Amino acid sequence: MKKIILVLLMGLFVGSNIWSSYIVVSEDSHYATITIHIGDNSYNIVIDIPIPSFSSINTANGSFTLINSPNSGESTVVGEANLPKIYQLIEVPSLKVSSILVSDEKWNELSLDSIGLPKMVYPVQPSRIKSSMSSQDFTMNYSYYFLDVFTPSMTARILEKGAFRDRNCILLELSSIKYNPAKGIIKILTSCKIDIYLDEEKNNTIVHRNLESKTFNQLLSTIVYGYSDRNYPDDESEGYLIITTDDFYREILPFAEWKEKQGYTVTIVNTSIINENLTSKELYEFIKTVYNTWGTPPVYLLLVGDVEEIPTFIGEHSGTATDLYYTLMDTDFFPDILIGRFPASSKEQVDIMVNKTILYEQGRFSQCYIKQAAFLASMDNHYISESTHNYVIEHYMIPHNFSCDKLYSAAYRATTDQVFDVLNDGRGLVIYSGHGSPGEWADGPRFTQNDIRNLRNHEIYPFICSHACLTGKLNFEECFGETWLRVPDKGAVAFWGSSAFTMWREDDLLEKYMFSAWWDKDIRDIGGMTSSALEELYLHYGGGKNSKYYMECYNILGDPSLKLWENNPLTADFSFKQIADDEGFTISFSDESYGCINSIKWDFDDGNISEEKNPIHHYSYKRCYNVTLTVENEDGIRDIIEKSITPINITSPGNGLYVFGLKILDIDRTIIIGSLKVTVESYDESNIDYIEFLVDNISKDVVNQPPFVFTWDESSFGKHNVKAIAHTYGGIVFDIRNDIFVINI
């Protein structure tokens, strides 16, 4: 049974305080059953239809009804009624759609007049660009509002077809609300059946296993209905392609080696291998060949060099610099590779970007700063920028125990000095929304390239999200985003921003979608979370309005595989060194843990514990001991490491008279006639890396595997000391035999 609930509330709309009636229409369930037919086979997908709510607003241009439908998209025809839409990507086995049939439609009809709402539904407005502080003219197609038919006419249609890597997808539009403008009547879809008929494509049924990727599987499974799990192992190495100018090859090597340690299959390609005078088209064709032919095609792509060194594209929709096209392996707008750029114009700048990235990912920070974030909001249109930040802070940051600075120009009169203070103190995230230019954040609060150069945030580098015009303009001499990465010992580890003008509404959605990707979808790499955000924005508008523009204009400066820390990093580690060979043996321990450590605890495996940082501990008996170190940080997170202390013994020679290696007499001292043969035994040989043998503190030999035997055959007539030092996996132990009299002439 339908229930209507009327609630009065006061809200904000385009900057004015108004009274609105808020009406929720509730049904037991709204859903659409979609049947995919291919040949003689078929399968079903069920899509929930969100239940709408209605409110009224009074403006200078009249009274209108607003329709809100949670998790729905929007109409895109400017001047006509803004009706909720469902835009859904669906995986299909074939892209050859022969027909689509909608049947069994059930609608509830509702007169807006009957529930006290205006007959006219608020029209879609042009996106408001952030480049101007002036108000925008109201747009309304008056002839549309005289139509005495329900619009739109089609309940469902396919807008686009494309592929994510080798996953075929169609973009379905479902109009769950229809509107008769002349009569002010709404029809609400409660259920329907949609049959989509596909023709078989034999050449598209091949499964390209090498294009499978755990990164893309996680990304696509959250936005594609019917996404199939092919049950491939998720521990297979992912490809990472680095394109660099020849001049930067040596500087990028440490980064490539670090990525290999993380488990990626890394390939560095110098631009001269492709073409001496490389164009963006030639580079794209090379990347496409790599993608289609290599055994491990790239999941991530890093361009090393500014646009003068490695060219970029000019976007068809944005008219400005974009690296997006390097990732489009098909004709659609959905990236098949996640891309970033180190925008360096010198070897020194490559070094800076490599070092910042490795430092961040290792988590060896000089102080705890990861769980602190700064949100900067503009003076202009502050009700949008502030409300977006507040939503993100309340829904994502506070529940995950982040502390957040609200540096809002309007609400709190935030200043540039305050931005300096918080950044120098260390912030893991800096999120800006407001006006910008290629050289600065203009009003939220103002922060320029020179301000970046004057920072003192050494080794505490944030990830920057810049929702502003032009701050990531790649084809500018040095844009604002590039400065963040280029400055040494300060600045940022990565930057995400626009090379073109941006819009208030789209930036609002994009910011929310990025944090949703991080926390709701558990996508931690910045390439994945920003790509997810842009794809969600694309779906919000069904590929219309400014969705393609936004796919082009937002670019990552930095490593796209960079994973954001969700907690202050904490790693327990220690080394040890034997310092005495007395009754038993004595070990000096060195705490080498890093992170925001509040407490440490040692367990020496002999009934003794310690909370000292670098304790010295005496063991009464020689045997193996499994020592554990537990560290805890300020977030209450613990890390534990265990290492084995494996003492050694020089078992031969002992006391006695030895002649050419044979013991012929027991005596209370050691006398050797001939060469000196030393044998060492360990309580656990598997824990020994190698043993070094010294005679009179001079290194003579190294033995890498058992039996650990050393023969000293130098001429001698006198006493000598023999020392065996075992280098174990984690520390050093030793044993000594003194006063060995050797006669070897």
Q: What is the DSSP string of 466-528?
A: EESSSTT-TTSSS-HHHHHHHSTTSS-SEEEEESS--BHHHHHHHHHHHHHHHHTS---BHHH
The first and second tokens of residue 427, run together, are 């912030």
- Strands 372-377 and 338-342: what pairing? unpaired
At 473, phi and psi to the nearest 5?
-70, 100
Kind plus residue range of the DSSP H or E element containing 168: strand 167-174
The CA distance from 537 to 548, in Å, is: 9
pLDDT tens-digit profile of 707-724?
A: 999 999 999 999 999 999
At 561, phi and psi to the nearest 5?
-90, 0
Q: Which residues contact 607 (CB under 8 A, 6 or more apart)?
A: none
| Mean pLDDT across the chain | 91
449, 439 Cβ separation under 8 angstroms:
yes
The CA distance from 585 to 736, in Å, is: 12
pLDDT tens-digit profile of 559-606?
A: 999 999 999 999 999 999 999 988 889 999 999 998 889 899 999 999
Q: How many CA atoms lie within 13 A of 577 on its CB side?
A: 4
- Write down the pLDDT at residue 583: 84
124, 82 Cβ separation under 8 angstroms:
yes
- Write down the pLDDT at residue 45: 82
Q: Answer whether residue 14 shows pLDDT above 80.
A: no
Q: What is the mean pLDDT of residues 496-507?
A: 97
Q: Where in the chain is the domain with CATH 3.40.50.1460?
A: 239-557
Q: Answer whether residue 493 shows pLDDT above 50.
A: yes
pLDDT tens-digit profile of 528-547?
A: 999 999 999 999 999 999 99
Q: What is the mean pLDDT of residues 327-356?
A: 97
Closest by alpha carbon to 417, among 388, 382, 454?
454
CA distances from 637 to 522, 571, 604 (A): 19, 10, 22
The label of the residue with tokens 């103002």 reads 446
Res. 317 pLDDT band, cuts 50 70 90: very high
The CA distance from 734 to 573, in Å, is: 22
pLDDT higher at 319 or 202: 319
120, 145 Cβ separation under 8 angstroms:
yes
> Which stretches within 520-617 are classed as H helix?
526-540, 547-553
Architecture (CATH level 2) of domain 648-744: Sandwich (2.60)
The label of the residue with tokens 């002010």 reads 184
Closest by alpha carbon to 162, among 539, 513, 525, 545?
539
The CA distance from 183 to 145, in Å, is: 9
Percent of the chain exceeding pLDDT 90 equals 79
Q: Answer whether residue 55 shows pLDDT above 80.
A: yes
Q: Answer whether residue 178 shows pLDDT above 80.
A: yes
CATH of domain 239-557: 3.40.50.1460
- Write down the pLDDT at residue 390: 98
- Write down the pLDDT at residue 107: 92
Q: Answer whether residue 79 shows pLDDT above 70.
A: yes
The CA distance from 443 to 410, in Å, is: 10
- Write down the pLDDT at residue 15: 35
Q: Where in the chain is the domain with CATH 2.60.40.3800?
A: 3-206
CB burial of residue 348 (10 Å; 0-12, 13-18, 19+): exposed
Q: Answer whether residue 136 shows pLDDT above 80.
A: no
Amino acid (one-letter) located at 66: L
The CA distance from 500 to 132, in Å, is: 14
Closest by alpha carbon to 95, among 211, 218, 221, 196?
196
Length of the chain (residues): 745
- Write down the pLDDT at residue 257: 98
Q: Answer whether residue 37 shows pLDDT above 90.
A: no
645, 587 Cβ separation under 8 angstroms:
yes
The CA distance from 385 to 442, in Å, is: 14
Q: What is the mean pLDDT of residues 482-487?
A: 99
Q: Answer whether residue 215 shows pLDDT above 90.
A: yes
pLDDT higher at 465 or 90: 465
DSSP 435: -
Q: CA angle 119-123-125, nearest 5°?
A: 160
At 229, phi and psi to the nearest 5?
-90, 110
- Write down the pLDDT at residue 29: 57
Res. 131 pLDDT band, cuts 50 70 90: confident
Q: Answer whether residue 1 shows pLDDT above 60.
A: no
- Write down the pLDDT at residue 233: 61
- Write down the pLDDT at residue 30: 66
The first and second tokens of residue 184, run together, are 């002010």
Res. 20 pLDDT band, cuts 50 70 90: very low
- Write down the pLDDT at residue 700: 96
The SS3 call for residue 289 is: helix
HEC sequence for 98-147: EEEEEEEEEEEEEECHHHCCCCCECECCCCCECCCCCCCCCCCCCCHHHC
- Write down the pLDDT at residue 207: 52
- Homologous superfamily (CATH) of 570-645 is Immunoglobulins (2.60.40.10)
The first and second tokens of residue 624, run together, are 């193996």
Res. 98 pLDDT band, cuts 50 70 90: confident
Q: Where in the chain is the domain with CATH 2.60.40.10?
A: 570-645, 648-744
Q: Which residues contact 678 (CB under 8 A, 6 or more apart)?
A: 650, 652, 653, 693, 709, 710, 711, 712, 722, 724, 737
156, 194 Cβ separation under 8 angstroms:
yes
The CA distance from 266 to 301, in Å, is: 10
CB burial of residue 39 (10 Å; 0-12, 13-18, 19+): exposed
Q: Which residues pair with 743 in a beta bridge?
A: 673, 717
The CA distance from 212 to 233, in Å, is: 10
pLDDT tens-digit profile of 397-456?
A: 999 999 999 999 999 999 999 999 999 999 999 999 999 999 999 998 999 999 999 999
User: pTM for this structure?
Assistant: 0.87
pLDDT tens-digit profile of 670-709?
A: 999 999 999 999 988 888 999 999 999 999 999 999 999 9
The first and second tokens of residue 97, run together, are 């759609």
pLDDT tens-digit profile of 359-398?
A: 999 998 878 899 999 999 999 999 999 999 999 999 999 9
728, 646 Cβ separation under 8 angstroms:
yes
Q: Which residues contact 665 (CB under 8 A, 6 or more apart)?
A: 656, 657
CB burial of residue 127 (10 Å; 0-12, 13-18, 19+): buried
The CA distance from 602 to 374, in Å, is: 37
> Which stretches within 123-270 are classed as H helix?
214-221, 249-261
Indicate the CATH number of 3-206 among 2.60.40.3800, 2.60.220.10, 1.10.3720.10, 2.40.50.140. 2.60.40.3800
Q: What is the mean pLDDT of residues 482-507?
A: 98
